[in-house]
Amino acid sequence: MEDLYDLTIAIWSQTNVKLQEGISLALISEFESKLDFKFPENFKAFYQKVNGFVEGEWNKDMFSLWPIERITKEYLIAENKDYVPFCDYLISCYTFGYVKSGEGIIMDITSDKICNTFEEFIQLLNSNSDILY
């Protein structure tokens, strides 16, 4: 996991994606309370390294990984309180996130489960997998 995350951060840095500094477990816990949702441990491990992209940034394939503050903001204004989005494609054309009542990561426009873990999601992003479209 560490190697995947470090490799991902290096790839994003080399392609000039502006990244937010990582955040503490205590801060993640505060946001979990606001969301009434516990992020998986692998998600927390990554966000301790990088708190998503700087607002308005996206990778070369037009995906943006949100900082925890935006995750919370988007959740609080959304009608669906069972869905916690953390990434979007093409400036919010659609999002990816967790369903509180389910497992894995889904794409919101189809409600299809695209992978089981955050690590798998990062691998899909790194490979620009067709599953993301």
* pLDDT tops 70 at residue 1: no
User: For a pLDDT cut of 90, what percent of the chain falls above it?
Assistant: 97
Answer yes or no: are the C-beta atoms of 64 and 53 closer than 8 Å: yes
The pTM score is 0.94
pLDDT digits (tens, 9 = 90+) for 37-65: 999 999 999 999 999 999 999 999 999 99
- Number of CB atoms found within 10 A of residue 107's CB: 18
3-state secondary structure of 79: coil
Confidence of residue 70 (pLDDT cuts 50, 70, 90): very high
- Tell me the pairing of strands 112-115 and 83-89: unpaired
Q: Is the per-residue pLDDT at 33 higher than 90?
A: yes
Rounded mean pLDDT of the chain? 95
